[in-house]
Structure 1
Amino acid sequence: MTKTFHSQYADNPQESTGFLFAKVYNAWHAKVKSTLKNIDLTHPQFIILSSLGALELQQDLITQVNLAAFSDMDVMTVSQVLKLLLKKGLVERREHPKDSRAKVVFLTDSGREHMNQALPLVEAIDQAYFGQLREQVADFNQLLIKLEEMNG
């Protein structure tokens, strides 16, 4: 059997931006997941809680659709994560006062406590991990923003 590997990076995987990005993301994500597990949250649950907290500063009535758009997650995933957060008592869902088809989502006091416990932990991981770039962090963030805008 002939061994084949149809990649332009076969001789040097370190030249593959996607491969490098995946490796860096996986290493960062493993740290985040491990830390959040200690406070009984998954990464998607943390994203939903922190997105909800951020949105609450901007508006009073937050729908699942608003939450999905803000967190850049699909509506079905947001709905599934919210069901788990509801069971944990970290969020509440109510009927929208003006749109009977929509649900409004709120953080409970316990949800806010979990979010505020998790935020500094995740931000510390970000600072330790990405802080290794030192003065290049701002440039890195701008490049990520540019990619997000091009693909958002």
Structure 2
Amino acid sequence: MTKQPFNSIYGDQARQSTGLLFNQVYNQWHSRIKQKLATIDLTLPQFFVLAATAFLQRQQDFVTQVDIARFSDMDVMTVSQVLRLLVKKNLLTREVHPKDSRAKIILLTEAGLAKVNQALPLVEHFDLEFFGKLEQEKEHFNQLLIKLEEKNA
């Protein structure tokens, strides 16, 4: 069989491709975390929006959709769609911003706070288990991720 041209700098050494490896690991993490969150009727984007809202409400007086999008590095329109679903689930409310009538503030309901507090230990335990396989290298891995995030922002 004749080998077809394959215009990759890695040739037949696919495991040298950082992007491929990152994608494979991300897909493993993503698939498993989605399964965990499904057990409590949440999607991953819903969890991110709830967790971002809970975190930001501890840091500032008013949380907006734009604040959530920036903090979670999600597209504003995606955040808007997720917010609508979470409002329907009675996990969040939208209210008129007291200082800007054109803006809405996002607030966790009691049910939303309970849901995020149910989800956080589930997600954090999973992350500890999944990334714990790095052992002593986990902190270095986190620092490298922070560096990549900052340099590519």
Partner Cα separation in structure 2 for residue 74 and residue 140 of structure 1? 26
The Cα of 1:8 is off from its aligned counterpart by 1.5
Counterpart-to-counterpart distance in 1, 2:4 and 2:95: 58
- The whole-number CA distance in structure 2 between the counterparts of 1:33 and 1:4 is 37
Q: CA deviation at 1:151?
A: 1.3
Q: Which residue number corresponds to residue 57 of structure 1?
A: 58
Letter in 2 for 1:105: I
Map Cα deviations across residues 49-99 of structure 1 (whole Å, 9 max, x no partner): 001111011012101111111111111110000000011000000111111
Correspondence 1:99 to 2:103? no
Please name the residue that 2:84 is paired with.
83
Matched residue, 1:13: 14
Secondary structure of the residue aligned to 2:105 is strand
Q: What is the aligned partner in structure 2 of residue 31 from structure 1?
A: 32
- Equivalent residue number for residue 114 of structure 2: 113
RMSD of aligned C-alpha atoms? 1.2
* 2:43 match: 42
1:4-58 deviation per Cα after TM superposition (whole angstroms, max 9, x unaligned) = 3221223111000000000000001111000000100000000000011110110
Corresponding position of 2:5: 4
Structure 1 residues not aligned, in runs of 5+: none
Gaps of 5+ in 2: none
Distance 1:144 1:86 in 2: 32
- Aligned partner of 1:147: which letter? L
User: CA–CA distance in 2 between the matches of 1:2 and 1:133?
Assistant: 37
Letter in 2 for 1:54: F
For 1:145 and 1:99, locate their aligned partners in 2 and report how far apart those are by CA, in whole Å: 34
Length-normalised TM-score, structure 1: 0.96
Q: Stretches of 4+ moved more than 2 A in 1?
A: 1-5
SS at match of 2:95: strand
Secondary structure of 2:59 counterpart: coil
Shift of 1:2: 7.5
Q: Separation in 2 of the partners of 1:44 and 1:150?
A: 24
User: Could you say which residue in structure 1 is the equivalent of 2:136?
Assistant: 135
Identity of aligned residues (%): 56
